[in-house]
Chains A and B, each alone.
Chain A
Amino acid sequence: MSGALYEQLILMPDYFRGHLLLTIAAMSGSIAISIPLGIWAAQSPRVKQPLLAVVSIVQTFPSLAILALMVALLGGKIGFLPAFLALTMYSMLPIVRNTVTGLESIPPDIVEAARGIGMTSRQILLKVRLPLALPIIIAGIRTAMVWTVGLATLSTLVGATSFGNYIFTGIQTRNLLAITVGSLASALMAVTLDAIIGGIQWLAENDETTATKQKVKLTKRLLSGATLALVAITVVTFLPKPKPDFIIGSKAFTEQYILAGLLAETLTQAGFRVEKRTGLGSDIAFDATRTGNIDLYMEYSGTLWANHMDKEGNPGREAIREQTMAYVDEQGMVSVGPSGFQNLYAFAMRRDRAEELGIKTIEDLVPVASQLVCGGDLEFFGRPEWIRVRDLYSLDFDKKLTFDAALMYNAVNDRQVDLITAYSTDGRVAAYDLVIIEDPRNALLPYDGLYLASQKAANTPGFLEAMAPLVNGIPDEVMREANKVVDVDGRSISEAVDVLLEHIAGENAD
């Protein structure tokens, strides 16, 4: 087996268990709520319309938004619970709707016959209406199941482990193998679970009077085989699983994945047991650390300044670093120290394009900006800094397009956009020979990497000592080199972590 594939497959047990348990829990919750609701709605027209409207509206919400809302409603709690609640809500519509449709589709003469021979309303429901509606209800459950398996991949973004970890890490680190493994695993799980329910349905509708003995036997065997396999795999993933000392978080881009790897490796070497929750949303990582759901991650001073402290000015790199570190401590976390590098937003352009237009600073952009297309990451044009750039330079572009960070660099390199809001430590700036456009009016904020730790982690003996070599341990060019290993050379996160570890070891040896 190739090393790259092996590196992905060793992650499988955790992701598999997370994905399966999340799916099964959400489906169980959804079935337990939706079928009684559907029954209620089928009996009472007054309930039916509003109920179907509400579950349909939930469905029209973007699934990612529901996940984020759940985290907010739970006061910043991340992980299994918000993902479970969001997926449960999201999978209700097909089950409720099919329960109502199924119950309403029972021919009235059969219901009247049931009443006429002396069944109570309850007996009519349990002995006649539900069994006859069952195929339609199960069809709804199958639809919901396939959706839920797919949507569970998104729960990675709120810190629940799933096959989404493969996919999001893969997208951010341009690791096609990880994306493929995650997608295939998720598809395979969807097909298997769907087949299990389909088999149960078939067995419920057929017995040896309506199908051949062999077919019934075969279906029973396949069904118990598949179920047993799922249970066995799940049990195995549970076996050796000591509780971690620290949980390390990361946001969803290459530098963050590498940093999470570095933090995990450093603490592991110091004798701690760690677990990673990578690929979190920006606010989610911060809130999770404040509430102690995560023990350690790296945040940027500019993000804290603009997004969390709602500050508008730019008093300079040092001042912002000091003030944001103080803010972190006020919020009940502990700022362990700066990383040494800063990863700031900077406008970047292909060298040939910059020369053609004669652009060195943002001021040079002003006269031509109305003919330029600028690409930004998912956040930039919504951040206060863009407002500052716009206002300080009286600058606006013809078009502003938002991209996933990984795709943005391709876009500028392929001339699909004229310039992008690059990250200064990104390896692709050098690899694609992009020119950083200077910012003489200091509109763009400084972005020092800061290690944020939970109170609990900071109080753990040995933690701060283990972290000490990392404080101010990574200069800009080393971080850029590590990012390049992943983003340009297409090598793994762990190889990039090695670049950082080597540098830190070298420094300490001196």
Chain B
Amino acid sequence: MITLENVCKSYGADGPLAVDDVSLTINEGEIIGLIGESGCGKTTTLKMINRLEEPTSGSIIVNGKDVREQDPVELRRGIGYVFQGIGLFPHYSIGRNVSAVPELLGWPAEEARERAEEVLTLVGLAPDEYRDRRPTELSGGQQQRVGVARALAARPELLLMDEPFGALDPITRGELQDEFLRIQRSLNLTVIMVTHDMTEALLMADRIAVMKSGRILQFGTPKELLRSPAHEFVQQMIQLPKKRADSLEKLMGDAEV
């Protein structure tokens, strides 16, 4: 279980609050969507969980302990992270990118290599074909699969994802989303995923936190959000996917006639 309690973050002593009194309780095996417009504080919230950013006040409990009492390097090695810009190391082969965290944790080389092959297979990349290639030789979708494989390599229980599918074309995105859900269920991962795509959040997340100006406006299941949006902004956010679904349905009806 991961708990955020009254977490605030401001840059500079008197700066405005980027994250304003955020509290969340996340259960094991849940996928949480953090959604909002750019600058709403969703990525900052995510980064405070593995101490890429430090909260100004409040507390964050991971592994039963306040993160500020944990060594940031050890903490990060224990949490999987999928980056917005993918962030593969261009001078490492795919295999070495994937086994980067096991290597940092000091696993024996053979074990790290085997694990890399395992997770590459898990994300749908044949190890024999991809292990020795460089990131630049891969398509965007393949690179992000490697990004997910890297995050999973050291068997973390918690995965932080920052707009993981944002830069992909719609077909690849859909495929990867489905595959990711399969992997998440099979490993019982706890996932916190930042996104600005409400459809993605509605389809993937167990619960969604809608953020605006650093505050959480509503935190609930997709159904709760759709049925009873607590705020005008939440209403707006779910309007767009709803409208699209409606027009699609209409179009399909017309086509059948």
Per the bound structure, the CA–CA distance linking A47 and B208 in Å amounts to 46
Per the bound structure, the CA–CA distance linking A176 and B76 in Å amounts to 68
Cβ of B150: which chain A residues have Cβ within 8 Å of it?
117
- Indicate if the CB atoms of A118 and B74 lie closer than 8 Å: yes
Interface flag for A62 (CB, 8 Å): no
Per the bound structure, the CA–CA distance linking A131 and B150 in Å amounts to 20
- Indicate if the CB atoms of A118 and B73 lie closer than 8 Å: yes
Per the bound structure, the CA–CA distance linking A131 and B78 in Å amounts to 25
| A109 vs chain B, min Cβ distance (A) | 3
Per the bound structure, the CA–CA distance linking A141 and B185 in Å amounts to 52
Interface flag for B104 (CB, 8 Å): yes
Digit string of A313-354 for contact with B (CB within 8 Å is 1, else 0)? 000000000000000000000000000000000000000000
Contact A110-B77, Cβ < 8 Å, known A117-B104, A123-B104, A209-B132: no
Contact A112-B90, Cβ < 8 Å, known A118-B73, A118-B104, A209-B133: no
CB nearest neighbor in A for B74: A118
Per the bound structure, the CA–CA distance linking A119 and B101 in Å amounts to 9
- Indicate if the CB atoms of A112 and B87 lie closer than 8 Å: yes
CB < 8 Å neighbour of A116 from B50, B78, B91: B50
- Indicate if the CB atoms of B52 and A118 lie closer than 8 Å: no
CB nearest neighbor in A for B72: A118
- Indicate if the CB atoms of A116 and B89 lie closer than 8 Å: no
Interface flag for B134 (CB, 8 Å): yes
Interface flag for A221 (CB, 8 Å): no
Tell which of B50, B83, B91, B132 has the most Cβ of chain A within 10 Å: B91
- Indicate if the CB atoms of A119 and B104 lie closer than 8 Å: yes
Interface flag for A120 (CB, 8 Å): yes
Q: Which A residues from 84 to 114 make CB contacts under 8 A with B?
A: 107, 109-110, 112-114
- Indicate if the CB atoms of A132 and B91 lie closer than 8 Å: yes
Interface flag for A25 (CB, 8 Å): no
| B114 vs chain A, min Cβ distance (A) | 19
Q: Which A residues from 113 to 147 make CB contacts under 8 A with B?
A: 113-120, 123, 128, 131-132
Cβ of A60: which chain B residues have Cβ within 8 Å of it?
none
Per the bound structure, the CA–CA distance linking A209 and B104 in Å amounts to 24
Cβ of A112: which chain B residues have Cβ within 8 Å of it?
52, 83, 85, 87
Per the bound structure, the CA–CA distance linking A455 and B198 in Å amounts to 92
CB < 8 Å neighbour of B89 from A113, A115, A209, A210: A113
- Indicate if the CB atoms of A131 and B87 lie closer than 8 Å: no
Per the bound structure, the CA–CA distance linking A102 and B126 in Å amounts to 34
Digit string of B75-103 for contact with A (CB within 8 Å is 1, else 0)? 11110010111111111010000001100
CB nearest neighbor in B for A131: B91
Per the bound structure, the CA–CA distance linking A115 and B81 in Å amounts to 10
| A406 vs chain B, min Cβ distance (A) | 54
CB < 8 Å neighbour of B84 from A109, A118, A128: A109
Per the bound structure, the CA–CA distance linking A123 and B77 in Å amounts to 13
Cβ of A114: which chain B residues have Cβ within 8 Å of it?
87, 89
Number of interface residues of A (CB under 8 A): 18
Cβ of B88: which chain A residues have Cβ within 8 Å of it?
110, 113
- Indicate if the CB atoms of A117 and B134 lie closer than 8 Å: no
- Indicate if the CB atoms of A116 and B133 lie closer than 8 Å: no
- Indicate if the CB atoms of A116 and B100 lie closer than 8 Å: no
Digit string of A478-497 for contact with B (CB within 8 Å is 1, else 0)? 00000000000000000000
Per the bound structure, the CA–CA distance linking A114 and B134 in Å amounts to 17
| A209 vs chain B, min Cβ distance (A) | 5
Contact A116-B81, Cβ < 8 Å, known A128-B89, A132-B90: yes
CB nearest neighbor in B for A123: B104
Contact A116-B83, Cβ < 8 Å, known A131-B91, A132-B90: yes
Per the bound structure, the CA–CA distance linking A117 and B74 in Å amounts to 10
| A124 vs chain B, min Cβ distance (A) | 11
Cβ of B134: which chain A residues have Cβ within 8 Å of it?
209-210
CB nearest neighbor in A for B52: A116
Cβ of B101: which chain A residues have Cβ within 8 Å of it?
117-118
Tell which of A118, A128, A132 has the most Cβ of chain B within 10 Å: A118
| B145 vs chain A, min Cβ distance (A) | 15
- Indicate if the CB atoms of A110 and B73 lie closer than 8 Å: no
- Indicate if the CB atoms of A109 and B93 lie closer than 8 Å: no
CB nearest neighbor in A for B160: A116
Q: Which A residues from 182 to 211 make CB contacts under 8 A with B?
A: 209-210
Contact A116-B76, Cβ < 8 Å, known A109-B84, A109-B85, A123-B104: yes
- Indicate if the CB atoms of B91 and A119 lie closer than 8 Å: no
CB nearest neighbor in A for B134: A210
Q: Which B residues from 121 to 150 make CB contacts under 8 A with A?
A: 132-134, 150
- Indicate if the CB atoms of A118 and B87 lie closer than 8 Å: no
CB < 8 Å neighbour of B83 from A109, A120, A132: A109
CB nearest neighbor in A for B77: A118
CB nearest neighbor in B for A208: B132
| A201 vs chain B, min Cβ distance (A) | 13
- Indicate if the CB atoms of A113 and B90 lie closer than 8 Å: no
CB nearest neighbor in B for A120: B73
- Indicate if the CB atoms of A115 and B104 lie closer than 8 Å: no
23 CB-based A-B contacts, threshold 8 Å: A109-B83, A109-B84, A109-B85, A109-B86, A110-B87, A112-B85, A112-B87, A113-B81, A113-B83, A113-B85, A114-B89, A115-B52, A115-B76, A116-B52, A117-B76, A117-B81, A117-B100, A118-B73, A118-B74, A118-B101, A119-B104, A128-B89, A209-B134
* 8 cross-chain pairs, A with B, having the tightest CB-CB distances, nearest first: A113-B87, A109-B85, A118-B77, A118-B76, A116-B81, A109-B87, A209-B132, A113-B83
A residues at B contact (CB < 8 Å): 107, 109-110, 112-120, 123, 128, 131-132, 209-210
13 additional A-B pairs beyond A113-B86, A209-B134, beta carbons within 8 Å, are: A109-B87, A112-B52, A112-B83, A112-B85, A113-B85, A113-B88, A115-B52, A116-B50, A116-B81, A117-B81, A118-B73, A131-B91, A209-B132
